[in-house]
Amino acid sequence: MTSSVCLAAQVDHPPRHCAGADLDGPLPLCRPCLDHATQAVPLLVHDYRDLEQIIPKPMSQWSDGQPRGSGEPPIPMQLHVEALQAEIWWLTTCWAEVLTDVHHLADPPRHVRRGFDVQWAVQLLTPRIEVLARVPAVPMLFYPHTADTLSAVTGGQGLLDLASAHDRARPMLGLTEPTYVLPGRCQAKGCGAAELRVADGSDTVWCDRCRAVMSRDDYDRLGNVFLREAAA
Mean pLDDT (whole number) for 173-185: 76
The sign of the CA dihedral 37, 39, 42, 47 is negative
Q: Kindly report, residue by residue over 6-52, the tens digit of the pLDDT.
A: 998 888 778 878 877 778 678 999 988 999 999 999 999 999 999 88
Report the mean per-residue pLDDT for the chain: 81
Q: Is the pLDDT of residue 82 over 70?
A: yes
100 vs 102: which has the higher pLDDT: 100
User: Which of 176, 193, 217 finishes a domain?
Assistant: 176
Q: Is the pLDDT of residue 218 over 90?
A: no
Looking at the domain assignment, is residue 32 inside a domain?
yes
**How deeply is 33 buried, as exposed, middle or buried, from its count of CB atoms within 10 A (0-12, 13-18, 19+)?**
buried
Confidence of residue 92 (pLDDT cuts 50, 70, 90): very high
Q: What integer pLDDT is reported at residue 76 of this predicted model?
A: 44
Would you tell me how many other CB atoms lie within 10 Å of the CB of residue 5?
16
Helix axes 79-103, 31-53, angle to 10 degrees: 130
Looking at the domain assignment, is residue 63 inside a domain?
no
Q: What integer pLDDT is reported at residue 75 of this predicted model?
A: 41
Looking at the domain assignment, is residue 218 inside a domain?
yes
d(CA 90, CA 95): 8
Q: Which residues contact 118 (CB under 8 A, 6 or more apart)?
A: 44, 45, 48, 88, 89, 92, 93
Confidence of residue 125 (pLDDT cuts 50, 70, 90): very high
- Are 150 and 222 members of one domain? no
- Are 147 and 193 members of one domain? no
What is the SS3 assignment for 197? strand
Please give the span between the terminal C-alpha atoms of the chain, in angstroms, as a whole number: 33
Confidence (pTM): 0.69
Q: Is the pLDDT of residue 174 over 80?
A: no
pLDDT over 90 for what percent of the chain?
Answer: 36
- Are 90 and 116 members of one domain? yes
- Are 159 and 190 members of one domain? no
213 vs 228: which has the higher pLDDT: 213
Looking at the domain assignment, is residue 67 inside a domain?
no
Looking at the domain assignment, is residue 60 inside a domain?
no
- Are 92 and 26 members of one domain? yes
| Structural domain range at position 108 | 13-55+76-176
Highest mean pLDDT among 7-11, 79-83, 92-96, 189-193: 92-96
